[in-house]
């Protein structure tokens, strides 16, 4: 018997609510709140049709701690799942502390006026969560999230030390649009246009944005794609927790058409987060761009193909060198048929549901602020297979 309050009715929130409704033995009550209540209602209607589960919905401004506190007091959930935007993380953690509720999210806090991807703001809550006897689980999406669990699984079952980690995120899907992002455009473009960064021999090395690339031959017929080195937030915690790590990098595939559009938009200042005056008011060019780009949710019925996200890990076991690749392949069309969303939202919403399930069933517990790789990977890995994100591991 457990009650969950999900905040955020976007692509990821929608998948998470649908998936929670498929596991009624864990999620006895699912409540959904977001800034725009009509979006919650549309998700609730789809969930009712597909699963027969009724999801009560609410409007909340998650930037306003008092508003969230009032909502939590009304619902009395066992866990708050934050699937709004990274800007809301700290306000929602504050609301959880004030009401004594556990917390889970899928993306690290980002200050609205600065594209910075760092855990320092959320790590600063460590002591307060510990003293309150509460758990905050950070980054329970795919990357971060499943990629952290893949690393923990490899560490537990396959290696004494992992020396080299390459996380490779491939979206081999096609939505047929000239330019669109698969999740929130503002967050996505902020992430992609920042400088690249990877970990080598104990320090961070910076690269110009998307200036390093490699070709990788993805399995199961996906084929060879060009991948670009980027900074990604899970690297920050993995280099602390994975034993023996000498180098850690993150790669993502982009098509030429996507990159050409991005470069033009960047070149003319449309991806800037510096406010400019327009029509007598200050606007952020990137926020304006988001308003004219397709809603990621609208890509669901249009996207064909598959994603392949996984970790290539090189290390030693019993004195022998080995390389292990652990990955998941997810079909955009199958995700859409099951829950009405494309695979990018699906691969994030499913691990958010599984992370919530780990906390609510007591399989994962702790007092303080935790990353996924600090928990036992086994029940999470088993749940991935059972709930739509089966994984494969091969020695290369």
Torsion of CA 348, 350, 356, 357, to 10 degrees: -160
Question: Do residues 385 and 391 touch, judged by C-beta distance below 8 A?
Answer: yes
Q: 60, 93, 137, 149: which one contacts ligand NDP (CB under 6 A)?
A: 60
Closer by beta carbon to ligand NDP, 16 or else 132: 16
Choice between 51 and 82, CB closer to ligand NDP:
82
- Cα-based torsion angle of the residue sequence 11, 87, 207, 272 in order, rounded to the nearest 10 degrees: 90
Residues listed for the chain: 396
Among 4, 5, 6, 12, binds ligand NDP (CB under 6 A): 12
Candidate residues 65, 187, 286, 313; the one interacting with ligand NDP per rule CB under 6 A? 187
- State the minimum distance, in angstroms, from the CB of residue 134 to ligand NDP: 21
| CA 266/CA 229 separation, integer angstroms | 18
Pick one of 88, 122, 148, 303: the residue that binds ligand NDP (CB under 6 A). 88
Tally of CB atoms within 10 A around 337: 9
86 binds ligand NDP (CB under 6 A): yes
Q: In this structure, are residues 159 and 316 in contact, taking their beta carbons and an 8 Å threshold?
A: yes
The pattern of x and - marking residues 294 through 313 that bind ligand NDP according to CB under 6 A reads: --x-----------------
**Strand 276-278 vs strand 281-283: parallel, antiparallel, or unpaired?**
antiparallel
Tokens of 238: 């993995």
Stretch that binds ligand NDP, among 10-18, 125-133, 158-166, 355-363 (CB under 6 A): 10-18
Least distance in angstroms from the C-beta of 377 to ligand NDP: 17
What residues numbered 334-353 form the site for ligand NDP, per CB under 6 A?
A: 348
Closer residue to ligand NDP in complex, CB, 300/315: 300
In the complex, which residue's CB is closest to ligand NDP? 10
Residue whose C-alpha is closest to residue 306's, from 170, 166, 188: 170
The interface with ligand NDP within residues 238-297 (CB under 6 A) comprises 296
Q: Residue 354 corresponds to which tokens in the numbers above?
A: 């599984």
Among 65, 80, 101, 145, binds ligand NDP (CB under 6 A): 145
The one among 125, 129, 142, 251 contacting ligand NDP by CB under 6 A: 142
Q: Are 20 and 353 in contact (CB under 8 A)?
A: yes
Residue among 13 and 300 whose Cβ is closer to ligand NDP: 13
Q: What is the DSSP string of 107-134?
A: S----TTS----SHHHHTTHHHHHHHT-
CA atoms within 13 A on the CB side of 353: 28
315 binds ligand NDP (CB under 6 A): no
Q: Is residue 327 close enough to count as binding ligand NDP by CB under 6 A?
A: no
How far apart are CB 97 and ligand NDP at their closest, in Å? 18
Query: Given the complex with ligand NDP, which of 6 and 239 has the nearer CB atom?
Result: 6
Q: Residues with Cβ < 8 Å from 221, sequence gap 6 or more?
A: none
From the CB of 258, what's the least distance to ligand NDP, in Å?
A: 16
Backbone angles phi, psi at 111, to 5 degrees: -70, 135
**Rounded CA separation 77/6 (Å):** 10
Point out which residues bind ligand NDP (CB under 6 A): 8-13, 34-36, 39, 60-63, 83-86, 88, 106-107, 139, 141-145, 183-184, 187, 296, 348
């Amino acid at each position: 018997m457990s009650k969950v309050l999900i905040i955020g009715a976007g692509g990821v929130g929608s998948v998470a609510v649908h998936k929670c409704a498929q596991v009624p033995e864990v999620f006895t009550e699912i409540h959904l709140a977001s800034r725009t209540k009509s979006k919650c209602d549309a998700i609730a209607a789809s969930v009712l049709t597909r699963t027969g589960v009724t999801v009560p919905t609410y409007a909340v401004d998650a930037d306003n701690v008092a508003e969230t506190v009032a909502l939590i007091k009304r619902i009395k959930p066992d866990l708050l799942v934050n699937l709004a935007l990274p800007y809301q993380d700290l306000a929602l953690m504050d609301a959880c502390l004030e009401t004594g509720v556990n917390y889970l999210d899928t993306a690290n806090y980002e200050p609205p006026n600065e594209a910075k991807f760092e855990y320092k703001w959320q790590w600063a809550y460590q002591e307060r969560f510990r003293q309150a006897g509460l758990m905050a689980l950070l980054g329970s999406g795919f990357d971060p999230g499943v990629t952290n669990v893949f690393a923990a699984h490899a560490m537990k079952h396959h290696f004494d030390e992992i020396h080299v980690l390459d996380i490779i995120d491939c979206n081999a899907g096609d939505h047929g649009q000239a330019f669109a992002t698969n999740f929130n455009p503002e967050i996505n473009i902020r992430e992609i246009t920042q400088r690249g960064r990877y970990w080598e021999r104990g320090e961070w090395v910076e690269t110009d944005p998307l200036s390093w690339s490699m070709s990788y031959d993805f399995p199961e017929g996906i084929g060879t794609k060009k991948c670009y080195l980027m900074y990604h937030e899970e690297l920050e915690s993995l280099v602390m927790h994975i034993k023996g790590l000498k180098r850690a990098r993150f790669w993502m595939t982009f098509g030429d058409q996507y990159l050409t559009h991005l470069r033009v938009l960047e070149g003319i200042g449309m991806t800037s987060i510096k406010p400019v005056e327009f029509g007598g008011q200050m606007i952020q060019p990137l926020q304006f761009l988001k308003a004219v780009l397709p809603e990621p949710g609208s890509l669901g019925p249009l996207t064909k193909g598959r994603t392949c996200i996984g970790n290539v890990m090189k290390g030693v076991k019993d004195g022998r060198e080995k390389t292990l690749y652990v990955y998941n392949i997810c079909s955009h069309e199958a995700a859409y048929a099951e829950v009405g969303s494309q695979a990018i939202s699906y691969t994030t919403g499913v691990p958010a549901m599984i992370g919530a399930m780990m906390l609510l069933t007591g399989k994962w517990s702790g007092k303080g602020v935790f990353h996924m790789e600090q928990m036992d990977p086994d029940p999470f890995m088993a749940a991935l297979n059972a709930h739509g994100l089966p994984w494969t591991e091969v020695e290369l």
